[in-house]
Amino acid sequence: LRSASMGSVLSVPERPAVPEGKTRICVAGFGVSHNSGMAQKLARKIYDLHSDQYEAFFYFESMDFKNFLGKVKAEEGWVESSFEKTAPEGVKTCTNFKDHGSSPLVWLELPGGKKEYIGGRDFFCDWAGKKFKDEKEIVELAGGDTPFAEPSFGDIWFDNKAQVLSGPAPALAKPE
């Protein structure tokens, strides 16, 4: 696991303007978190399979996440109609942008500076499972029929580098 050393925090990668025809999936959260891990893996999979349509932004910093969260939420361009969510019956989770204070925060950035709130890992899994309903790899990673179920403890291990992924995804290794 990577973390900032001696009380310093990692720098936040610049998020350049989103090119026309693309959507950037943004995931920010604690550097050690099974929810952040699952969201990162899912966003990375979407990017790997659809880099012609999607980019990805990741920022994972346990010491500075709450500060970063406040800054991102104060940015301009948020589509307010995306701020309220409805959780399935019996599921306790944050359902609105204003109160979101947990890790991770997932949002979409669109051309023209617009931002759409997705929610936490649970609403992101729900969104991805519906958006890519015919893609087995994504649906399975998103939790299948149970996107609001807790991820496994093994999801705490993930690539928690701060980075922006843009352009064609590297070719995926194919078994021989």
| pLDDT tens figures, 61-94 | 988 899 999 999 999 999 999 998 887 777 777 7
In angstroms, the Cα distances linking 123 to 10, 67, 105, 129 are 27, 22, 10, 10
Q: Which pLDDT score, from 0 to 100, does residue 2 have?
A: 42
pLDDT in tens, 91-145: 777 778 988 888 999 999 999 999 999 999 999 999 999 999 999 999 998 988 8
pLDDT in tens, 16-30: 999 999 999 999 999
Q: Which pLDDT score, from 0 to 100, does residue 108 have?
A: 98
Q: Is the pTM of this model over 0.85?
A: no
Provide the token pair at 136: 């087995």
Q: Which pLDDT score, from 0 to 100, does residue 144 have?
A: 85
